[in-house]
Structure 1
Amino acid sequence: MSITLTDQDKLTLQTAAWGAVSLMSAAGAAGSAHKVATEGSIALTSATGLVGHVLAKAPKGVKWGKTVADLADQVLPALTVAMSLLKQQAPAEADNFRNTIIVALDAAARTHLGEPSPTLADMARKITEAVDAA
């Protein structure tokens, strides 16, 4: 069975995933934001299946906002919508998307020695809750 996503569906998935990495980067400690973004991006571009094809590139033309709150207002709902969309159209890909997001969060958090900072851990929690809200 072949799954066809509309351009808007693909943009929603890209916005959700790449936005999650951006949120983690914004929550990273000073000097580590680049490492967080790099590790999270590698996780997204390493995805396989339909999700891997969609997330191979960051979304173009998305206005991310000027603050972390603006970014969260856009990305957290997009994560929930993306999961709902995939659960309806391709349940196996919903699991793939969720796992890809969790791997990206784990990869981003590993850039710190020891445990992630409280800010980074809290952002990962918010992202995971948005993914699981669907």
Structure 2
Amino acid sequence: MAITLTDQDKLTLRTAAWGAVSLMSAAGVAGSAHKAATEGSIALTSATGPIGHVLAKAPKGVKYGRTTADLADQVLPALTEAMNLLNQQNPAEAGNFRRTVIVAVEAATRPHHGEPSPTMTEMARKITEALDAA
């Protein structure tokens, strides 16, 4: 089953996935935000299939706001919207997108020694919840 994405659809997918990495970076321990963003970005650019082609580029011109709350207000609904869009067109690609975002979230927690912080754990839960709200 083919998938047809408009430029707006692609922007939604990029905003959702790259924004999830930004949320994890914002929730990270001081001094490791850059490492979290790097690890999460590598996961996104390693995606395959149609989703991999879309996520190979970060969204251009997206203004996430000044606070983590502003970022979450844009990204969490975009995650749900992306899953709805993909589930309508191609459930397998919806699964690919979900797994890719989850891997990016997990990768963003890797730079931390030991267990992720409670803040990162909670942010990961919110991201997963938004993905599963579709």
Match status 1:122 vs 2:112: no
**CA distance in 2: counterparts of 1:112 and 1:3, whole angstroms:** 37
**CA distance in 2: counterparts of 1:2 and 1:90, whole angstroms:** 7
**Alpha-carbon distance, 1:3 to partner:** 1.5
State how 1:73-84 maps to structure 2 within 5 Å: 73-84=73-84
| Structure 1: gaps of 5 or more residues | none
**Alpha-carbon distance, 1:90 to partner:** 1.1
* 1:91-112 CA-partner distances (Å, limit 9, x unpaired): 1100000000110011111111
Structure 1 match to 2:113: 113
Any idea what SS the aligned residue of 1:126 has? helix
Moved over 6 A (4+): none
Any idea what SS the aligned residue of 2:128 has? helix
Structure 1 match to 2:89: 89
Code of the residue aligned with 2:70 in structure 1: it is D
Normalised TM-score (structure 2): 0.98
**CA distance in 1: counterparts of 2:70 and 2:38, whole angstroms:** 22
**CA distance in 1: counterparts of 2:52 and 2:114, whole angstroms:** 30
**CA distance in 1: counterparts of 2:115 and 2:99, whole angstroms:** 21
Structure 1 match to 2:71: 71
Structure 2 match to 1:33: 33
CA RMSD of aligned residues (A): 0.6
| Structure 2: gaps of 5 or more residues | none
Structure 2 match to 1:51: 51
Code of the residue aligned with 1:40 in structure 2: it is G
**CA distance in 1: counterparts of 2:106 and 2:120, whole angstroms:** 11
Any idea what SS the aligned residue of 1:16 has? helix
Contact preservation (8 Å) 2:41, 2:104: yes
Structure 2 match to 1:10: 10
